[in-house]
């Protein structure tokens, strides 16, 4: 009988549950606004690394709050219920260069890679400041209607101060001497990638 009663007691005491914890955008500029949202069952609180004004903020089971970090920050949601604990974390990257690229496909005897930066992932006022290319060949970058040729192992300024970070990026490169499409022994790279630095010239939002 004693074991049976304990079993009922444990079943009647559910533990904490986190059904949602996210931040939008996931990449931002110093001081720009991002939105934390959450949904959980239990007693919840927020903390962050490095420390920020949200530390130890007591939360309603469902809600949101605005944050304006000046550096990359990790936010931690901790929920307690009936002596048990659950946690979830999200990371916000602040103006760190972003690698943009994708697997290549042949196009007219050259290489083409198409990648997309979703608008919801980055600050709305993020603007391209420079594009770096560590590959062994020049890469022609087309984005937001502008074209930039970035030499091999070099970098180039952004195409225009008004060009946003989000949207479709097309990367094109020619074959080097001796490379042949469809020939495993002389195949070109299977992907093209550039590193894009960005800033927020319009200031925090």
Mean pLDDT of the chain: 88
On whether both 42 and 89 belong to a single domain, the answer is: yes
pLDDT of res. 73: 95
Does 46 reside within a domain?
Answer: yes
The answer to whether residue 36 is domain-embedded is yes
Same domain, yes or no: 62 and 122: no
87, pLDDT greater than 60: yes
Query: What pLDDT score does 205 carry?
Result: 46
Let me know whether 45 and 128 are in one domain.
Answer: no
Give the C-alpha separation, 75 to 50, whole Å.
9
* pLDDT over 70, % of the chain: 92
Whether 129 is in a domain gets the answer yes
- What is the pLDDT confidence band of residue 163, given thresholds at 50, 70 and 90? confident
Residue 51 resides in a domain: yes
Residue 53 is part of a domain; what is its CATH number?
Answer: 2.60.40.2470
The pLDDT assigned to 6 comes to 47
pLDDT at 8 over 60: no
pLDDT band at 31 (very low <50, low <70, confident <90, very high): confident
Last residue of a domain, one of 29, 64, 94: 94
Query: Do both 116 and 55 map to the same domain?
Result: no
Q: How confident is the model at residue 97 (pLDDT cuts 50, 70, 90)?
A: confident
One DSSP character per residue, 76-109 reads EEEEEETTEEEEEEEEEEES--EEEEEE-EEETT
pLDDT at 117 exceeding the cut of 90: yes
Residue 56 has pLDDT above 60, yes or no: yes
Per-residue pLDDT for 160 more than 80? no
Q: Name the pairing type of β-strands 27-28 and 84-94.
A: parallel
What are the pLDDT digits (tens) for 61-86?
A: 999 999 999 899 999 999 999 999 99
- Does 76 share its domain with 146? no
Parent domain of 74: 2-94
Residues 74, 107 share a domain: no
Model pLDDT, residue 9: 52
Give residues with Cβ within 8 angstroms of 14, minimum separation 6: 41, 81, 82
205 or 94: which carries more pLDDT confidence?
94
pTM above 0.85, yes or no: no
Give how many domains the chain has, as a whole number.
2
Residue 65 inside a domain? The answer is yes
At residue 11, the pLDDT reads 56
Average of per-residue pLDDT across 92-107? 90
pLDDT band at 40; cut points 50, 70, 90: very high
Judgement on whether residues 81 and 126 belong to the same structural domain of the protein? no
Show which of 26, 59, 94 is a domain's final residue: 94
Q: What confidence score (pLDDT) does residue 172 get? A: 97
- Out of 94, 115, 139, a domain closes at 94
The C-alpha atoms of residue 87 and residue 101 are separated, in whole angstroms, by 33
Of the candidates 200, 198, 187, 100, the residue with the CA atom closest to the CA atom of residue 141: 100
């Amino acid at each position: 009988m004693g074991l049976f009663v304990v079993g009922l007691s444990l079943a009647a005491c559910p533990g904490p549950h986190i059904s949602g914890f996210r931040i939008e955008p996931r990449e931002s500029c110093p001081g720009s606004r991002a939105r934390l949202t959450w949904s959980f069952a239990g007693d919840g609180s927020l903390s962050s690394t490095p420390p920020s004004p949200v530390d130890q903020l007591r939360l309603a089971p469902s809600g949101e709050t605005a944050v304006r970090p000046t550096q990359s920050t990790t936010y931690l949601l901790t929920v307690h219920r009936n002596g048990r604990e659950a946690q979830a974390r999200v990371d916000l990257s602040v103006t760190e260069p972003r690698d943009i690229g994708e697997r290549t496909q042949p196009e007219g005897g050259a290489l083409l890679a198409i990648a997309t930066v979703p608008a919801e992932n980055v600050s709305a006022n993020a603007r391209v400041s420079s594009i770096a290319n560590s590959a062994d060949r020049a890469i022609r970058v087309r984005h937001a209607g502008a074209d930039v040729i970035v030499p091999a192992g070099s970098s180039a300024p952004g195409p225009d101060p008004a060009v946003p970070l989000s949207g479709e990026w097309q990367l094109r490169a020619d074959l080097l001497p001796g490379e042949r499409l469809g020939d495993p022994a002389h195949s070109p790279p299977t992907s093209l990638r550039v590193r894009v630095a960005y800033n927020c010239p319009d200031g925090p939002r």
